[in-house]
């Protein structure tokens, strides 16, 4: 995957995986997926807007918004919904998804999905969520089914096939994550308010 398609890849992964994995499982992930949908919509609006061609890759978006001072580095600026800030939220959610799917991939059939999911969450998104959201997440995750039923609900064929599909998808997720991480790090954008 070339760096140029990073935004497209992120969109692809966000849309396909977040929707497929999360929405099919009902409410347990809705606090993550609802937010992701809203953030994707914001980026979508930029892409369809007057400067849409600047929003085709992560790199061009960052360059455009930096050059035009469209990114708030502090709270309560004029650009609280910049593309850079919005993508950062998706980027953090992607880390959770990456950790969770990797855990699911290597886990045994009788593993508790709820534990895998909350470990992944605690190591990623939880650091950015207020206490009340973390509590709600813990309760929602607690209701997740076993790994075997989880795979069944995903409806992607037998468990070996799901594991193989995850094995194909995870390097792409991780590459996408790393490209954005590196770029944001260079710009000191990893803590955008
Ligand atoms: C995740 O963090 C919550 C709250 O800090 C804690 O109660 C829970 O046990 C943690 N989950 C795992 C699997 O470590």
pLDDT digits (tens, 9 = 90+) for 70-92: 999 988 888 889 999 999 998 99
State the Cα–Cα distance between residues 138 and 134, nearest whole angstrom. Answer: 6
Q: How far is the CA of 168 from the centre of ligand 1 (A)?
A: 29
- Round to whole Å and give the CA distance between 177 and 91: 7
How far, in Å, from the CA of 51 to the mean position of ligand 1? Answer: 43
Distance (Å) of CA 143 to CA 26, 28, 91, 118, 146: 11, 7, 25, 11, 10
Locate the domains of the chain by residue range.
Answer: 3-186
Ligand 1 lined by 115 (C-beta under 6 Å): yes
CATH topology of domain 3-186: Glycolipid transfer protein, GLTP (1.10.3520)
Cβ-based neighbours of 33, under 8 Å, separated by 6 or more? 18, 19, 22, 23
Of all atoms in ligand 1, which is nearest to the CA of residue 115? 13
pTM, two decimals, is 0.88
Query: Which residue's CA lies nearest to atom 12 of ligand 1?
Result: 119
Q: How many CB atoms lie within 10 A of CB 90?
A: 21
Cα(69) to ligand 1 centroid in Å equals: 39
Task: Tell me the pLDDT tens digit for each residue of 91-132.
Answer: 998 899 899 999 999 999 888 999 999 999 999 999 999 999
- Measured in Å, residue 117 CA sits from the centre of ligand 1 at 10
């Amino acid at each position: 995957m070339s760096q140029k398609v990073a935004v497209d890849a992120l969109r692809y992964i966000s849309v396909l995986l977040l929707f497929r994995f999360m929405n099919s499982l009902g409410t347990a992930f809705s606090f993550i997926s609802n937010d992701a949908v809203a953030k994707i919509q914001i980026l979508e609006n930029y892409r369809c807007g007057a400067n849409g061609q600047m929003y085709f890759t992560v790199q061009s978006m960052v360059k455009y918004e930096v050059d035009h001072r469209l990114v708030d580095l502090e709270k309560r600026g004029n650009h609280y919904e910049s593309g850079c800030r919005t993508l950062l939220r998706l980027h953090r959610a992607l880390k959770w998804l990456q950790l969770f799917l990797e855990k699911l991939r290597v886990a045994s059939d009788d593993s508790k999905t709820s534990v895998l999911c909350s470990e992944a969450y605690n190591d990623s998104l939880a650091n950015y969520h207020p206490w009340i959201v973390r509590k709600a997440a813990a309760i929602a995750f607690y209701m997740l089914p076993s790994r075997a039923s989880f795979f069944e609900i995903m409806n992607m064929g037998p468990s070996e096939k799901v594991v193989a599909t995850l094995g194909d998808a995870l390097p792409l997720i991780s590459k996408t994550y790393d490209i954005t991480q590196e770029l944001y790090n260079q710009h000191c954008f990893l803590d955008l308010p």
